[in-house]
Amino acid sequence: MIRSSELDRGFMREVMAIPGGENLIKCWSCGTCAATCLVRRYDPTFNPRLILRKAGMGMRQEVLSSREIWLCSACDACYPRCPQEIHISEVMKAIRTIAIAEGYEAPGPFAEVDTALCSGCAVCTRACPYGAIERQPVLVNGEERMVAQVDHTLCMHCGVCVAACPSGSITLEDYANDELIARMGAGGWLEEGSYQQGEATEPRILAFVCQWSMRSDAEWATLDAMQSDSLRIVNLPCSGRVDPGMILLALSQGADGVLVAGCSEGECHYKRGTYLGRSKVALLDTVLAQMGIQPGRVRFVELGAFDRGALPGLIAEMSAALKQPAVTVA
Amino acid sequence: MDKLKLAVYWASSCGGCDIAIVELGEHLLELAKLADIVFWPCAMDFKYSDVEAMDDRHIDVCLFNGAIRTDEDEHIAHLLRRKSKVLVAFGSCASEGCIPGLGNIKGPDHALARAAFETPTTDNPERVMFAPRYAMPEGDLTLPALTVQLRTLEQVVPIDFTIPGCPPNHEQIWNAITAVVENRLPEAGSLLGVDPRTVCDQCPRTRLGKIQVERFFRPHEILPDPERCLLEQGLVCAGPATHAGCGALCVKAMMPCRGCYGAPDGVLDQGSELLDAIVAGMAGESDAEIRRVVSTIVDPVGTFYRFSLGASLLHALKKSPLESGQRCETQRDGARGEGEHA
Amino acid sequence: MVDAARHPKVEILSYSEVERVDGYIGNFRVGINRKPWYVIADNCTGCGDCAVVCPIEVPNTFEMGLAPRKAIDVPHGQAVPLIYSIDMDNCIQCFKCVTACGHRDAIDFGQQPEYVELDVGSIIVATGFESFDPTVIPEYGFGAYPNVITAMELERLDNSAGPTVGRLVRPSDGREPKSMAIIQCVGSRDKRFNEYCSGFCCMYAIKNAILMKQMIPDMEISIFYMDIRTPAKGYEEFYNRAREMGIRFVHGRPSQITEDPLTHNLYVEAEDQELGQVLELETDLVVLSAAAIPRADAGEVSTKLTLSRSPGGFFMEYHPKLRPVDSPTDGIFLAGAAQGPKDIPASVAQGSAAAARAARVLSSDTWEIEPIIASVDENVCVSAKGTKCGLCVPACPYGAISCVTGEPAKITSAKCHGCGGCVAECPHSAISQDHFTDAEIVAQLRALLQDNPEEKIVAFMCHWCSYGGADMAGTSHFEYPADSRGIRVMCSARMDQDFVLEAYRRGAGMVLLSGCHPQDCHYITGQQVAAKRFDRLQQAVERLGISPERFRVEWISAAEGEKYARVITEMSQTLKSLPKEQILSENRGARDSIERRLRRWKASPQMAELMAVAGDDLPGGEELS
Looking at the fold, whether B167 and B295 belong to one and the same domain comes out as no
Spatial contact of B305 and B271, defined as CB atoms under 8 Å apart: yes
Q: Which chains does A contact via 3+ CB–CB distances below 8 A?
A: B, C
Are the beta carbons of C271 and A85 separated by less than 8 Å? no
Element of type H or E holding C323:
none
Q: How far apart are CA C227 and CA A30, in angstroms?
A: 9
Tell me how close the Cα of A4 comes to any Cα of chain B, in angstroms: 47
Q: Which of residues 264-303 of A touch B (CB under 8 A)?
A: 265, 272, 275-276, 278-280, 282-284, 286-288, 290-293
Q: How far apart are CA C215 and CA C569, in angstroms?
A: 65
Q: Which of residues 197-256 of C touch A (CB under 8 A)?
A: 226, 251-256
Would you state the pLDDT for residue C605?
67
CB pairs under 8 A between A and B: 176
Q: Which residues of A touch B278 (CB under 8 A)?
A: 283
Looking at the fold, whether B211 and B173 belong to one and the same domain comes out as no
Delimit the domains of chain A by residue range.
4-101, 108-172, 174-322
Residue A294 to residues A330, B322, C274: CA-CA distances in angstroms? 11, 20, 55
- Closest chain B residue to A300, measured at CA: B287
Q: Which residues of B touch A121 (CB under 8 A)?
A: 198, 200, 207, 239-240, 277
Looking at the fold, whether B45 and B91 belong to one and the same domain comes out as yes
3-state secondary structure chain A: CCCHHHCCCHHHHHHHHCCCCHHHHHCCCCCHHHHHCHHHHHCCCCCHHHHHHHHHHCCHHHHHHCCHHHCCCCCCCCHHHCCCCCCHHHHHHHHHHHHHHCCCCCCCCCCEECCCCCCCCCHHHHHCCCCCEEEEEEEECCEEEEEEEECCCCCCCCCHHHHHCCCCCEECCCCCHHHHHHHHHHHHCCCCCCCCCCCCCCCCEEEEEECCCCCCHHHHHHHHHCCECCEEEEEECCHHHCCHHHHHHHHHCCCCEEEEEEECCCCCCCCCHHHHHHHHHHHHHHHHHHCCCCCCCEEEEEECCCCCCCHHHHHHHHHHHHCCCCCCCC
Tell me how close the Cα of B100 comes to any Cα of chain A, in angstroms: 15
The class (CATH top level) of C374-433 is alpha beta
Tell me whether residue B330 is in a domain: no
Q: How far apart are CA C308 and CA C19, in angstroms?
A: 18
Would you state the pLDDT for residue A2?
84
Q: Which residues of B touch A166 (CB under 8 A)?
A: 198, 240-241, 264, 267, 273-274, 276-277
The one-letter amino acid code at A327 reads V
Q: Which of residues 284-323 of B touch A (CB under 8 A)?
A: 284-287, 290-291, 293-294, 297, 299-301, 304-305, 312-314, 316-318
Would you state the pLDDT for residue C620?
65
Among the partner-chain residues C144, C271, C280, the one whose CB lies closest to the CB of A34 is C271
Q: How far apart are CA A153 and CA C108, in angstroms?
A: 79
Domains: count for chain B: 2
Question: Is residue A28 within 8 angstroms of chain C, CB to CB?
Answer: yes
Q: Give bridge partners of residue B198 from the DSSP assignment.
A: B243
Spatial contact of C294 and C278, defined as CB atoms under 8 Å apart: no
Helix, coil or strand: residue C569: helix
**What would the pLDDT profile of B205-259 be if each residue is shown by its tens digit?**
999 888 889 999 999 999 999 999 999 999 999 999 999 999 999 999 999 999 9
Looking at the fold, whether B46 and B164 belong to one and the same domain comes out as yes
Are the beta carbons of B313 and A252 separated by less than 8 Å? yes
Q: Which of residues 210-249 of B touch A (CB under 8 A)?
A: 210-212, 229, 231, 239-241, 244
Are the beta carbons of A126 and B212 separated by less than 8 Å? yes
Pairing of the two strands A205-210 and A257-263: parallel
Looking at the fold, whether B45 and B96 belong to one and the same domain comes out as yes
Q: How far apart are CA B101 and CA C295, in angstroms?
A: 73
Tell me how close the Cα of B164 comes to any Cα of chain A, in angstroms: 16
Q: How far apart are CA C275 and CA C251, in angstroms?
A: 9
- Closest chain A residue to B290, measured at CA: A279
Sheet containing B4-10: which strands, arranged edge to edge?
B35-39, B4-10, B59-65, B84-90, B161-163
Are the beta carbons of C252 and A30 separated by less than 8 Å? yes
Q: Which residues of C touch A51 (CB under 8 A)?
A: none
Among the partner-chain residues A31, A80, A81, the one whose CB lies closest to the CB of C271 is A31
Among the partner-chain residues B239, B268, B300, the one whose CB lies closest to the CB of A283 is B300
- Please give the CATH number for the structural domain made up of A108-172: 3.30.70.20
**Residue closest to C195 by CA, chosen among A84, A206, B55, B279:** A84
| CATH architecture for segment(s) A4-101 | Orthogonal Bundle (1.10)
Over residues B190-212, mean pLDDT: 89
Looking at the fold, whether B76 and B225 belong to one and the same domain comes out as no
Are the beta carbons of A81 and C267 separated by less than 8 Å? no
In this prediction the pTM is 0.80
| DSSP, res C174 | -
Contacts of residue B302, defined as CB under 8 A and 6 or more positions apart, other chains included, come to: B102
Write the Ramachandran bin of A296: left for phi over 0, alpha for psi from -120 to 50, otherwise beta.
left
Terminal CA-to-CA distance of chain C, rounded, Å?
71
Are the beta carbons of A279 and B199 separated by less than 8 Å? no
Q: Which residues of A touch B240 (CB under 8 A)?
A: 119, 121, 123, 166-167
Among the partner-chain residues B210, B244, B269, the one whose CB lies closest to the CB of A245 is B269
**What would the pLDDT profile of A49-91 be if each residue is shown by its tens digit?**
999 999 999 999 999 999 999 999 888 989 999 999 999 999 9
pLDDT above 90: residue B327:
no
Q: Which residues of C touch A216 (CB under 8 A)?
A: 280
Looking at the fold, whether B209 and B302 belong to one and the same domain comes out as yes
Would you state the pLDDT for residue B132?
84
Spatial contact of A272 and A208, defined as CB atoms under 8 Å apart: no
| CATH code of the domain covering residue B67 | 3.40.50.700
Q: Which residues of B touch A298 (CB under 8 A)?
A: none
Looking at the fold, whether B268 and B205 belong to one and the same domain comes out as yes
Spatial contact of C242 and C210, defined as CB atoms under 8 Å apart: yes
Binned at pLDDT 50, 70 and 90, residue B342 comes out as very low
Q: Which residues of A touch B308 (CB under 8 A)?
A: none
Pairing of the two strands C85-86 and C16-24: unpaired
Tell me how close the Cα of B123 comes to any Cα of chain A, in angstroms: 25
Given a cut of 50, the residues of chain C with pLDDT beneath it are: 625
Helix, coil or strand: residue C529: helix
Burial category of B167 from C-beta neighbours within 10 Å (exposed 0-12, middle 13-18, buried 19 and up): buried
The one-letter amino acid code at B141 reads L
Are the beta carbons of A306 and C256 separated by less than 8 Å? yes
- Residues A121-149: b if buried by 16+ CB within 10 A, e if exposed: bbbbbbbbbbebbbbeebeeeeeebbbbb
On the CB side of C474, CA atoms within 13 Å amount to 8
Would you state the pLDDT for residue B1?
62
3-state secondary structure C279-317: EEEEECEEEEEECEECCCCHHHHHHHCCCCECCCCCECC
Looking at the fold, whether B95 and B240 belong to one and the same domain comes out as no
- Residue A193 phi/psi, 5° resolution? -70, 160
Terminal CA-to-CA distance of chain B, rounded, Å?
59
Q: Which of residues 147-206 of C touch A (CB under 8 A)?
A: 185, 189-192
Spatial contact of C459 and C514, defined as CB atoms under 8 Å apart: yes
Q: Which residues of C touch A29 (CB under 8 A)?
A: 273
Tell me how close the Cα of A116 comes to any Cα of chain C, in angstroms: 46
pLDDT above 50: residue B96:
yes
Tell me how close the Cα of A28 comes to any Cα of chain C, in angstroms: 9
**What would the pLDDT profile of A27-42 be if each residue is shown by its tens digit?**
999 999 999 998 888 8
What is the fold, at CATH topology level, of the domain defined by C130-293? FAD/NAD(P)-binding domain (3.50.50)
- Please give the CATH number for the structural domain made up of C438-617: 3.40.50
Least confident stretch, A288-292, B275-279, B327-331: B327-331
Spatial contact of B219 and B253, defined as CB atoms under 8 Å apart: no
Spatial contact of B116 and B127, defined as CB atoms under 8 Å apart: yes
Tell me how close the Cα of C192 comes to any Cα of chain A, in angstroms: 6
Q: Which of residues 25-44 of A touch B (CB under 8 A)?
A: none
Spatial contact of A169 and A161, defined as CB atoms under 8 Å apart: no
Q: Do chains C and A touch (3 or more CB pairs under 8 A)?
A: yes
Spatial contact of A241 and A163, defined as CB atoms under 8 Å apart: yes
Q: How far apart are CA A251 and CA A241, in angstroms?
A: 18
Would you state the pLDDT for residue B212?
87
On the CB side of B250, CA atoms within 13 Å amount to 22
Among the partner-chain residues C191, C260, C280, the one whose CB lies closest to the CB of A85 is C191
Q: Going along C502-609, which residue ranges are E strands?
A: 510-515, 551-555
Are the beta carbons of B291 and A282 separated by less than 8 Å? yes
Binned at pLDDT 50, 70 and 90, residue A135 comes out as very high
Among the partner-chain residues C141, C260, C269, the one whose CB lies closest to the CB of A35 is C269
Spatial contact of A147 and A140, defined as CB atoms under 8 Å apart: yes
For residue C77, how far is the Cα from the chain centroid? 33
Q: Do chains B and A touch (3 or more CB pairs under 8 A)?
A: yes
Delimit the domains of chain C by residue range.
2-118, 130-293, 374-433, 438-617
Looking at the fold, whether B21 and B166 belong to one and the same domain comes out as yes
Looking at the fold, whether B235 and B95 belong to one and the same domain comes out as no
For chain A, what is the mean pLDDT? Answer: 91
Q: How far apart are CA C168 and CA C158, in angstroms?
A: 5
Q: Give bridge partners of residue C458 from the DSSP assignment.
A: C485, C511
Spatial contact of C288 and C183, defined as CB atoms under 8 Å apart: yes
The class (CATH top level) of A174-322 is alpha beta
Question: Is residue A167 within 8 angstroms of chain B, CB to CB?
Answer: yes
Q: How far apart are CA A249 and CA A298, in angstroms?
A: 12
Residue A38 to residues A35, A47, A216, B67, C331: CA-CA distances in angstroms? 8, 10, 9, 52, 57
For residue B234, how far is the Cα from the chain centroid? 26
Looking at the fold, whether B152 and B273 belong to one and the same domain comes out as no
Spatial contact of C60 and C74, defined as CB atoms under 8 Å apart: no
Would you state the pLDDT for residue C434?
92
Are the beta carbons of A166 and B277 separated by less than 8 Å? yes
Among the partner-chain residues A85, A306, A309, the one whose CB lies closest to the CB of C192 is A85
pLDDT above 60: residue B23:
yes
Are the beta carbons of C278 and A28 separated by less than 8 Å? no
Over residues A262-279, mean pLDDT: 91
**What would the pLDDT profile of A202-244 be if each residue is shown by its tens digit?**
999 999 999 888 877 778 888 889 999 899 999 999 999 999 9
- Closest chain A residue to B203, measured at CA: A121
Spatial contact of C145 and C266, defined as CB atoms under 8 Å apart: yes
CA angle B334, B338, B342 (to 5 degrees): 75
Residue B231 to residues A163, A279, B238, B240: CA-CA distances in angstroms? 18, 17, 8, 9
Tell me how close the Cα of B15 comes to any Cα of chain A, in angstroms: 28
Q: How far apart are CA B98 and CA B17, in angstroms?
A: 12
Structural domain harbouring B218: 199-260+263-306
